[in-house]
Structure 1
Amino acid sequence: MALVSNSEIFPSSFQQYGQFLSENKVIKGTKDAERVENVGMKIKVAAEKWLNANGHQGYLKDYKWEYNLVDSKEVNAWCMPGGKIVFYTGILPICKDDAGMATVMGHEVAHALANHGQQRMSAGVYQQLGAAGLAVATGGQSKETQELAMAAYGVGSQYGAMMPFSRAHESEADMIGLTLMAVAGYNPETAVAFWERMSANAGGNKPPEFMSTHPSDATRIANIKKLVPEAKAEAAKFGVTFK
């Protein structure tokens, strides 16, 4: 289900990303900011290699990659369509190292590559029938449209609770993300430790899986463990191996 194309979404995405940066404290010149950019560049190169090798040459031609660290206690990161990425400082202690950061970066980039935001935004069009829905479908830029789009890409707003990524989207992003981090040279086994730290940070304050669109931590970790060998096998095709 996709009512909006990349040619319609990308300009809006780039505009809204710039607006978000102008309204928040972007951190530049620090070691952490440089790490976000360095890890992001490696994930970008990995995505290009992997997509090209799998018959998707030119898939990223309209992407304009950008990586920014934003000062916020929120434990979050996101990637808007077209490769516009934000990491919040609140997630850095849980990332712990570059491999943890690559776990998050790979996962968020995977959402963008698989057009999950586009699909979720299209769902929002159906849910917001009327002026806001029509504006989204036709590329309009009303306040409601902008909020709907930002929510679709993972940025909190009044629509955030209405359109979380589905379990299927999350599982697909985990699978693709593990592959991207592995091709980039980061051991996908380290993703398990990252999600264990995320689970510990949440302190059990999550709804049961049947009430949530996200997999439970236990389910996600178990699935990731099963996917690690596949990610390693994909990386090996590019000459990347792990002990």
Structure 2
Amino acid sequence: MINRNSMRNNKLYKVVGAIVLAATAYACTTVPITGRKQLTGVPGAPDSQEIIAMSSDTYSHLMDSVKLSTDQEQVARVKRVGDRIKGAVEKYLTQNGYEELLQGFNWEFNLIEDDEMVNAWAMPGGKVAFYTGIMPICKDDIGVAVVMGHEVAHAIAKHGEERINQTYAKQVGMTVGAIALGENPGVAEKLIYQSVGYGSDLGLLSFSRTHESEADELGIVFMAIAGYDPKEAPKFWERMSADSGGNQPPEFLSTHPSHETRIERLNEAMPKALEYYNGDN
């Protein structure tokens, strides 16, 4: 006996699978240094300059709502290291034909007063902020350079833009899928969420870990070009691991690689960074 529901469900799965493949077929840009192809140009998603403009507005509002550090020594450290990393990035991109990645950038480096927040971030367009809570782990200029290189790498590699495009691709797939499977909305919705809902969320986490690892690789190259010893990067993450007491979520469900994985991958990427540090590249 032919099970029509089974046949229909198989057909629906094939349709959803095709939609997912189509929604992720927009990779048309390449990340400097790593050469990874990344997802951009998804229909309906904002372009780079729109994202930078939105990020600038968000940054301005955020700066109005936080307290900036008054520790002049630490503030100067963040700005000093930021300027050196900025110079290294601009030098590398200009010499290697990636000048367009700097379009719309208006660099800023700030230190936010929050001793409980062990973090730093960068927005599209070159807005970078450290929290005072991470400064003891950074310890010195080289430690700040590790974090600065990593955060600037996120902005240069346009990871924020890629994440937005991933989200749009997911939404496009789900919307088109719901229309295509409209003959049985209840089953369609369930199958779509099974196929691209939960699984897609885990996929996005994986992309985020990819971004973090890529930012580590780019970051140690940038700090090396700026004259900071990249061999100090694993030591920073060892300090970070000690500070966290090993309390990390399982890597599979984390948006960041484990400290152990991070250190291992940094060591794998170290030869390339050392070439830049030693002037061999």
> 1:1-243 residue pairs with structure 2 within 5 A?
1-2=39-40, 3-28=45-70, 30-72=72-114, 73-125=116-168, 166-237=208-279
Deviation at 1:168, TM superposition (A): 1.0
1: CA distance, partners of 2:217 / 2:56 = 26
8 Å contact kept, 2:122–2:151: yes
Moved more, 183-192 or 3-12: 3-12
2: CA distance, partners of 1:103 / 1:15 = 27
Q: 1:18 to 1:175 in 2, by over 3 A?
A: same
2: CA distance, partners of 1:211 / 1:76 = 19
1: CA distance, partners of 2:80 / 2:109 = 9
Q: Please give the TM-score of this superposition, normalised by the length of structure 2.
A: 0.69
8 Å contact kept, 1:80–1:117: yes
Rg comparison, structure with higher value: 2
Partner-residue secondary structure (3-state), 1:27 = coil
Q: Please give the TM-score of this superposition, normalised by the length of structure 1.
A: 0.79
Moved more, 164-173 or 218-227: 164-173
Matched letter for residue 209 of structure 1: E
Which deviations, in whole Å up to 9, do the C-alpha atoms of 1:3-49 show, x marking residues without a partner? Answer: 22111111111111111000000125611001110000000000011
8 Å contact kept, 1:14–1:82: yes
2: CA distance, partners of 1:214 / 1:190 = 20
8 Å contact kept, 1:183–1:238: no
1: CA distance, partners of 2:259 / 2:238 = 8
Matched letter for residue 216 of structure 1: S
2: CA distance, partners of 1:26 / 1:41 = 18
Matched letter for residue 122 of structure 1: N
1: CA distance, partners of 2:88 / 2:257 = 26
Matched letter for residue 159 of structure 2: H
Match of 2:24?
A: none
**Any gaps of 5 or more consecutive residues in structure 2?**
1-38, 173-202
Which deviations, in whole Å up to 9, do the C-alpha atoms of 1:190-232 show, x marking residues without a partner? Answer: 1111000111111111122233232221111011112122101
1: CA distance, partners of 2:212 / 2:161 = 14
8 Å contact kept, 2:209–2:255: yes
Deviation at 1:101, TM superposition (A): 0.3
Partner-residue secondary structure (3-state), 2:249 = coil
Q: 1:48 to 1:99 in 2, by over 3 A?
A: same
Match of 2:179?
A: none
Deviation at 1:98, TM superposition (A): 0.6
Partner-residue secondary structure (3-state), 2:105 = coil
Deviation at 1:235, TM superposition (A): 3.3
Would you say how many aligned residue pairs link Structure 1 and Structure 2? 209
Q: 1:203 to 1:29 in 2, by over 3 A?
A: closer
**Any gaps of 5 or more consecutive residues in structure 1?**
130-161
Deviation at 1:128, TM superposition (A): 6.6
